[in-house]
A = this chain, B = another copy of it.
Amino acid sequence: MNAPEKLPLFTLSAWSAEQLANVEQALSCWVVSPIDTPAPAGLGDAMRYAVLDGGKRLRPLLVMAACEASNGNAHAALRAACAVELIHAYSLVHDDMPCMDNDVLRRGKPTVHVKFGQAQALLAGDALQALAFEFLTPDDGSVEVATQARLCRMLAQAAGFQGMAGGQAIDLASVGKPLSSEQLHAMHRLKTGALLQASVMMGAACGAIPLAAQTALRDYGATVGLAFQVVDDILDVTADSATLGKTAGKDAAQDKPTFVSLMGLQASKNYAQQLLAQALASLEASGLQNTHALQALADMLVNRHH
């Protein structure tokens, strides 16, 4: 009896390793390459420090996975993946500054302002945001101009006052105040949800999928974005700083409202699993074939330990 023909198996670890190799190489080449385009007066060093050699790269993986599901332009998606990561990286640099969260440890290393000074950290964050839009608008014909314009629009909206920056403002204003479940959801939908959702939608925008599939991916992105924050809140109380690579227990110490403080630990864990099921249902509803990576990412994201 013959052995059955081997099917190509999908594993998240193998898929991620391949994607991350491309993303890391692209970031390393494109973020102010010290050879081709030296950035002046230490600015390039601060920018590279903020971006390279660290981070889970969750957002780039979501972009690449959504592009794959949409059978899109992989080069456009790689640019989008890096651009989203730059926005994420700049937001961490600015968030960590003394006038915001005043954090000294990030990804197990001193934060940018600790290492380079506050003024350089401020500038590096600003320059990273601009660089994200440079990544999206190459002048070499590799990405259609309509896609470039669309990606810029999506990223700008997700990063700005109706997205990440708006969420930060609510977060700032809510320290020490009781928030309703609705207010907490609204804050996180902007603060972390908008950019995670945009990652999915930008990946999809590198292809051409039906409107119904776009809507399903938008739902997936929103659900995954919310689940990410619920799990973050859980890990803030259950993991230690060494595992997280950042200061654990900070939210409680700063009296910040979290899903755990609002719902309790066990209910938060149940909620995260519920959201996972919901995200997978959205993928099912999309009608897209190649959603293995998006499925596995949602699972990893909810069941991660750091």
In the assembled complex, how far is the CB of residue A178 from the closest CB belonging to chain B, in whole angstroms? 15
A159 within 8 A of B: yes
Stretch of A67-75, A128-136, A214-222 that contacts chain B = A128-136
- State whether A190 touches B126 (Cβ < 8 A): no
How many A residues touch the partner, as a band? 35 or more
Q: Smallest CB-CB separation from A190: which chain B residue?
A: B40
Smallest CB–CB gap between A104 and chain B, Å?
A: 16
The answer, yes or no, to whether A252 is at the interface (CB within 8 Å) is no
CB distance from A198 to the nearest CB of B (A): 11
A39 to chain B, nearest CB (A): 4
Query: In the bound complex, do residue A43 and residue B165 qualify as a contact, i.e. CB atoms below 8 Å apart?
Result: yes
A90 to B161, CA, bound (A): 13
C-alpha spacing A37/B157, complex, angstroms:
12
Q: Are B161 and A47 in contact (CB under 8 A)?
A: yes
Alpha-carbon distance between A258 and B127 when the two chains are bound, in angstroms: 24
- Whether the pair A120, B172 counts as a contact (CB closer than 8 A) is yes
| Contact among B44, B100, B137 with A152 in the assembled complex (CB-CB below 8 Å) | B137
Known: A100-B119, A118-B99, A152-B149. A39 touches B133 (CB 8 A): no
Residues of B within 8 A of A42 (CB): 169, 173
19 additional A-B pairs beyond A40-B169, A41-B172, beta carbons within 8 Å, are A37-B162, A39-B162, A39-B169, A40-B161, A40-B167, A100-B122, A120-B169, A123-B169, A130-B157, A130-B160, A131-B161, A134-B153, A134-B156, A137-B149, A137-B150, A145-B145, A145-B150, A148-B149, A148-B152
